[in-house]
A and B are shown apart, each in its own frame.
Chain A
Amino acid sequence: ETGVTQSPTHLIKTRGQQVTLRCSSQSGHNTVSWYQQALGQGPQFIFQYYREEENGRGNFPPRFSGLQFPNYSSELNVNALELDDSALYLCASSLGGRDEQFFGPGTRLTVL
């Protein structure tokens, strides 16, 4: 059974640019959630996708958007990057919205 994978591992962008982060869910999981973790803090919920539809959103602006594909892999897109977007971005997959979430290794985004 393959676990949750994320790409890329690290990314450096400049303010104002756009970025796409990718996540492959654990086999058989149809729900993916994205979290942002700033240095020294706990992760903050961005949004969740269930069967390709957004299924909940945290307190993040619309420039944070996502997609889930028929194979349940997912993308997180961030437009007009700001310095405060520098963080570790984590995705987690689960069998359903209420089930245990399994996390990937994260993508470290640095915005200069």
Chain B
Amino acid sequence: KQEVTQIPAALSVPEGENLVLNCSFTDSAIYNLQWFRQDPGKGLTSLLLIQSSQREQTSGRLNASLDKSSGRSTLYIAASQPGDSATYLCAVKAAGNKLTFGGGTRVLVKP
């Protein structure tokens, strides 16, 4: 059974600092891994999708890496801003076509 873990559960940084969010999964037989952002009480916004054959994806200040063999992904957010405050969720897709989510990392960027 696939399990996804995100550590830490919460993170507080001063504005301008780089953010590093970690995601680990137990079964390396995945199709892809997706990072999402969720604002309080809202739906999920897809940030980056990494296919199982890829090592990383980049979009603006965001960079996500994937190491399938070790079951890890890292989301980097450069030069954080107060607007980056949100909960970040990672999810893996494997057999059954369902997304298995981690519990999320709640980020606060202080001005």
* Residues on A facing B (Cβ under 8 Å): 6, 31, 33, 35, 40-45, 48, 55-56, 58, 88, 90, 92, 97-98, 100-106, 108
Chain B residue with Cβ nearest A41:
B103
A90 CB to closest chain B CB (Å) equals 6
Residue pairs across A and B with CB atoms within 8 Å: the count is 62
Judge whether A42 and B103 touch: CB under 8 Å: yes
When the two chains form the complex, which single residue of B46, B97, B102 contacts A103, counting CB atoms closer than 8 Å? B46
- Chain A interface, DSSP helix/strand/loop, else mixed: strand
CA distance A33 to B93 in the complex (A): 12
Judge whether A105 and B4 touch: CB under 8 Å: no
When the two chains form the complex, which single residue of B43, B102, B104 contacts A106, counting CB atoms closer than 8 Å? B43
Instruction: Give the top 4 A-B pairs by smallest Cβ distance, nearest first.
Output: A42-B101, A97-B97, A45-B98, A103-B44
